[in-house]
Structure 1
Amino acid sequence: MTYLDHAATTPVLPSVVEAMTAAMAQGGNASSLHTSGRAARRRVEEARESLARDLGARPSEVIFTSGGTESDNLAVAGIYRARVRENPGRCRILASPTEHHAVLDVLEYLEQCEGAVLGWLEVDDYGRVHADTLAAAIAENPADVALVTVMWANNEVGTVNPIRELAQVAHGAKIPMHTDAVQALGQLPVDFGRCGADAMTITGHKVGGPTGVGLLLLSREVSVVPILHGGGQERGVRSGTLDVAGIIGLAVAVADAQANRVERALFLAGLRDDLIAGVTELVEDVVVAGDPGQSLVDGGPSRLPGNAHLRFPGCEGDSLLMLLDARGIECSTGSACTAGVARPSHVLLAMGVPEQEARGALRFSLGHTSTEADVAALLGAIGPVVERARKAAMAGARRRS
């Protein structure tokens, strides 16, 4: 198979497998007081210190979770509830409409069940939130804003947000800010201390780590109401027996991502550019979504180096995906499927893309195992696949008419 869906998950690094295998052979509950428990705790704290160094945080700011979804929920719901508890008038949450559903769905829950008022921050044609947009939204009533949440880099179109500028605006009004950095890590210069965010979401399986383990970087100055209750682990913020092996694997993966980021990002950007140039040469009317990637944001590229998001007018994204899959090429569409009904991407719609055009989107995402051969395989298949998909769409339109 030719794997071009690293933004969904990326293959586990051999070094991670080795480290986790050794850790699983040792055992021990990191909350136990006996010898095995203390040894497990030591391994967890060594991993915590390693992660803190690599991510520009203090060890006490590293909160282990089951992954990105839990970290997003804990940050958004936890900070909101803490702020409302301190002042019931703080009911407004400012967010980008292009967020991952791990953020969007908890926002919807807070709106429906806990009285939150959602303020959607307008994005430009690339899907980016600008600092002046956030400043204007806060200025409507700074006293009623509970928090701001804006993702560092978009998981669909790859656009990078100016997190440091946005955090400065939020802090100017004494408002905490959360950012989902799941896609940014390993491709952008991610540093918790320098970016200014108060909470940051990270997960392991996007950078060659295990699935089911992640972390929330959380400033000591920010109060959070837990969403899990039990043993009081992780500063009392996230109860639950720690996955020692998973945490060790996460630390190894993050260390690799940060150590190899510059070299890997340059290589992936070259592959991405070759992919885009090749497809646009072979297929008529292709539209590249997101930022062109020729400028800098917060010291890094304005588009994820490994992201190529393309729209194919006259095609259905699901048809393209399955036709490519039949040829051994794996990618993803820009749409989500809810209750079995295909819907156009909320990211593209927020960027102003017409609904019909948004249905013909594909995301090709590259990672640490990607090669020139992967791009060549796609270029060898894309022309006939698009031609077949367009004929099928035209036939379907004639039957409906």
Structure 2
Amino acid sequence: MAHPDVCFSTDKPAASARSHFPLSRRGALAALLAAAALAACGQGAPNGGMPHGPVPVAAVAVQPENLPVSFEYTAQTLGAREVEVRARVTGILEKRNYVEGSRVKAGQSLFTIDPAPFAAALARAEADVAAAEARHAQAQRDAARLQPLIAAKAVSQKEFDDAVSAEAIGQADLLAARARLREAKLNLEWTRVESPIAGVASRALKSEGSLVSGPDVLLTTVTQTDPMQVIFGIPDNERLKLRQEVDARRLQLPADGRFQVSLKLADGSSYAQTGHTDFADVRVSRETGTSEGRAEVPNPAGLLQPGQFVRVQLSGAVRSNVFRVPQRAVLEGPKGKFVFVVGKENKAEIRPVSTDEWRGGDVVVTSGLTAGEQVIVDGVLKLGPGAPVQVATPATAPAATPAAAPKAGDAKAGS
């Protein structure tokens, strides 16, 4: 019986030698090949055996933590207020009173409608008021003159009633004339088309000399750019996941429901100002499958422009009782992600885990680990379930860093 430590070479070289050498030399060649094979086997391990013993690894002891978490979405800027500037009266556009694209103040005149027809209407209304006042005064005198005569029965009741009615009619005519006067004054004032808010005025849509048919014609728009609104969409599947984590007490949202907001511009730089969310829609868009969120961000220098695409980052939420492990410790198998831990008798054990966001070299593990377990970080490629291990250099937990949610389209940890 052969010794268990002895390894044997294949007989293919011997068969090859048999086909090329005379019968008298085959025995000697076979002996040489066997000796060479035995020598080669003896060089691989002590005593001619296979390597064995504990595998040196590095491990980290994990503890549950409460980690800040942020969420990042694609967003678009929008002016805090955007109003349409329209004339209130019909007339010829006489003059544009602002520089297109410049900042304007609330109440500043932007356009002038030809005021001449409205000034004439105002003069006519003033004359009508004067005539109505004179008629009303005459009717008052007539009624006052007949008052003592009716008591003495010097005039008929009909004559007195007619005088009283004429006074009332004169009063009504005076009120109507005064109303037309106020209307004429308003029309004249409205020939001065003003900006209702402070902001940036866009280009004029009508040029001087054009007929403006009142509110039907849009003249320009004014946008308030400080503060600036930021509109973003939260995917419905992510919204449901966050709701479930909040209900399970694995995620804590800001106490007032307002996230702190920071922006990344199109060139990758960070916007200096921060703001807060101020609105979350309950509706889900049929076109995009997202629910709308809105934030308000200061824009004193005017760096942000309406319609600009940015990345919005929401911070202020906290994940409760989660673990952080180095990304290289998380492996993926047919059944999902897993890690190796140092188990009983210093043997490697597999722990299926659920992971969430990651940042830098750390992965956030939401389930699958318990406090104090040693997760194997280095040497995992040499391990299998139940393999003996030796922790060569005990590692400490990684420094706490805020965990950030993966950007849209980014790969999850361990994938």
TM-score bracket, normalised by the shorter chain, equals under 0.3
- TM normalised by structure 2 equals 0.19
Query: More helix by proportion, 1 or 2?
Result: 1
Question: Highest relative contact order (Cα 8 Å, sep 6+), 1 or 2?
Answer: 2
| Structure index of larger Rg | 2
